[in-house]
Chain A
């Protein structure tokens, strides 16, 4: 393919169209509500990457990427995992409980809670598999429905059995020093969580494209009947994909808890909306897994920058949620149009 042709393809690709469309519409919204875009956008950029905010953006990028994998991996097998919040919270609370209650030697004190968080997230997610294969309840429904009680369970554990005594605040006591994620920078926001999630993302991309399991997951997602006919144990593959997705969510929860402020604060995992930012990022990547880290970076940038914009330009940070929502709508419209176009 020649360079201009490639350029044309990139410009016409769904993510680019969606992003440009969404930003255009957002600008329109700004103008309508009387915000000056020439003030708002620079404030957004400053809020995300300047004035020492870059570290914070990266700190938000790590769990968002984890949640993106939690949605993207099952999606490859044709399963929608919308229960990220529950898996995230259960992963976080499991990691916190382990770090608080079991004295562990250095090193293990970090690794074991992370692993336990991943297992907990995986277990919460995999419940959807038998519900789907045995009872015919689609994963998109069951994961979402299971999520709310899982979040509540985590919240209960933090408020009562694991609560910091005598403070009345819904949070655990600080985790022991040994369980803190090793920091990479001075501020402590940048931890080994970043390289860890980067390596796991690379592993997932490799597994997706170049392993037998990755192939069988994709075949199951593309046409389940075809995979079944080809001898793939589709129920097992789908369950595995859901469990893998849940494990990424659980790990993301554990990473948040073991990072600053090194405790499980009730609501701190779900309130920033990592789960649905991640869903938007994956949909924006439109079935190209390699693009997922980029779209996650972009939406994290918007998310964090939006808070800066609110501080500086007085633009409600909800505006960035509008951008996200518009992105999903535009991606969906493009997908429908493409499906309708006759060959």
Chain B
């Protein structure tokens, strides 16, 4: 008997068949990975299991019995728990308060804080998830916040725990700790459904793997008996092309981007960047590594002009312009917050920055805007129902391709890419990398910030490591992950 089962689940959204007769069974105490490209139907399937969507056909079973889930409340009552990609925590409340919310121990009509702290402490102890019950969530690192989310689900007696892309927000070290936690929790008999697109994680922590493609199951594997190639085949229906060999010719010419002694202070006068200097030449990709919050955001905002005319940043020898320097193409990390306006159409999203070039005097002919968008959609193989579709309705990978289409067709010589493949599947990742390589070969100077070391190693000619606002090390593109990882924690030499 399985802890949780989805049997013949079909779900249709308008013309899109998101799930097509999917069977998925999770045994007690198993870590079951669900992988697939963006748009493969993973999120829909998990939403059905968590009561956010009702399936059009098929059913959900717990311990062999059919259950009907009308809402997440039903799901919780049936022992299902979910840790969302974006945490749903109250930063102003303590760890214990966040965990007991919805099922608080009450004494005399008031929250029994002592009992809550005690219950949470016992829970942390039992599952080996260390977290101080009285600490404020707002002050905790991301990895610990995630642990609070997991504890909250366990507090509500979850026997099946769904984690949606849990490592997207974690550093490599935090990821390792999360995997230890997952193993410990699974060992107590809790079943874990791990939704991810990172194959290394699947192989590292999964017991079994279900692969989805275009709403169907295309493979079921035992993690210990499969490898990345086999999974990729099932995920995208073909093998990945082998990595392009690094170009031998060293980049030549005057730097297109030069940063000299750049120091940036925040509103409180604290230095977020200190005396940063580097240069990027035409045809060169310089990687930027570092744990989150080491000054990446400030550096990128300085280079793009979004921080104003910061002294010390030069584009082709002249100072950066305030606002948004048009000489820089910029692919931001925050896809819905900065890179797109989710409710505007694809056409109007890819228009941004080119609106004045497309206009005749004041007017902006719609036909011209849409024709240009259709051209970009074709050239960058973005799958969208139409260019009038809101960009927020596209899958993450397609939205990202649209952002790249817009930025890489700007008349810019410098490209700044922040986490360009975050939250996209392997197929799109391959495509994004090819686009960046093409831009490089055409003579662009590229600054690539990524928290995925393998991505930096695949693409960058040189890798700079930021630590507490300083460039503390520079490596050639083929540096090992160990070397880079050490430098990221501040260990020099």
Interface string of A213-234 (1 = CB under 8 A from B): 1111011001101111111110
Q: Which of A92-100, A204-212, A237-245, A268-276 contacts B (4 or more CB under 8 A)?
A: A204-212
Cα distance A229–B353 in the bound complex, in angstroms: 9
Known: A219-B348, A230-B352, A231-B353. A211 touches B338 (CB 8 A): no
Known: A215-B355, A216-B355, A231-B326. A223 touches B340 (CB 8 A): yes
B314 CB-CB contact with A under 8 Å: no
B384 CB-CB contact with A under 8 Å: no
A136 CB-CB contact with B under 8 Å: no
Closest chain B CB from A287 CB (angstroms): 9
Q: Size range of the interface on A?
A: 20 to 34
For chain B, the count of residues having a C-beta within 8 Å of the partner chain is 32
A222: chain B residues within 8 A (beta carbon): 341, 343-344
A288 CB-CB contact with B under 8 Å: no
Closest chain B CB from A215 CB (angstroms): 5
B393 CB-CB contact with A under 8 Å: yes
Contact residue among A214, A216, A233 (Cβ-Cβ distance under 8 Å from B323): A233
B32 CB-CB contact with A under 8 Å: no
Contact residue among B324, B340, B342, B362 (Cβ-Cβ distance under 8 Å from A211): B362
B356 CB-CB contact with A under 8 Å: yes
State the majority secondary structure of interface residues on B.
loop
Closest residue on chain B to residue A222 by CB atoms:
B341
Cα distance A233–B322 in the bound complex, in angstroms: 10
A228: chain B residues within 8 A (beta carbon): 306, 324
Interface string of A61-103 (1 = CB under 8 A from B): 0000000000000000000000000000000000000000000
A134 CB-CB contact with B under 8 Å: no
B53 CB-CB contact with A under 8 Å: yes
B330 CB-CB contact with A under 8 Å: yes
State the majority secondary structure of interface residues on A.
helix
Cα distance A215–B348 in the bound complex, in angstroms: 8
Question: Which residues of A, 297-343, contact B by the 8 Å Cβ criterion?
Answer: 342-343
B353: chain A residues within 8 A (beta carbon): 230-231
B352: chain A residues within 8 A (beta carbon): 219, 226-227, 230-232
Closest residue on chain B to residue A234 by CB atoms:
B323
Contact residue among A213, A215, A342 (Cβ-Cβ distance under 8 Å from B351): A215
Is B364 in contact with A218, judged by CB distance below 8 angstroms?
Answer: no
Cα distance A212–B366 in the bound complex, in angstroms: 11
A232: chain B residues within 8 A (beta carbon): 352
Is A212 in contact with B364, judged by CB distance below 8 angstroms?
Answer: yes
B141 CB-CB contact with A under 8 Å: no
B365 CB-CB contact with A under 8 Å: yes
Query: Can you pick out 26 interface pairs between chain A and chain B where the beta carbons lie within 8 Å of each other?
Result: A210-B366, A211-B359, A211-B362, A211-B363, A211-B364, A212-B355, A212-B362, A214-B364, A215-B348, A215-B351, A219-B344, A222-B341, A222-B343, A223-B337, A223-B341, A225-B338, A226-B337, A226-B338, A226-B339, A226-B340, A226-B352, A229-B306, A229-B330, A230-B353, A231-B353, A343-B393
Chain B residues with a Cβ under 8 A of chain A: 13, 47, 52-53, 306, 323-324, 326, 330, 332, 334, 337-344, 348, 351-353, 355-356, 359, 362-366, 393
Chain A residues with a Cβ under 8 A of chain B: 209-216, 218-219, 222-223, 225-233, 342-343
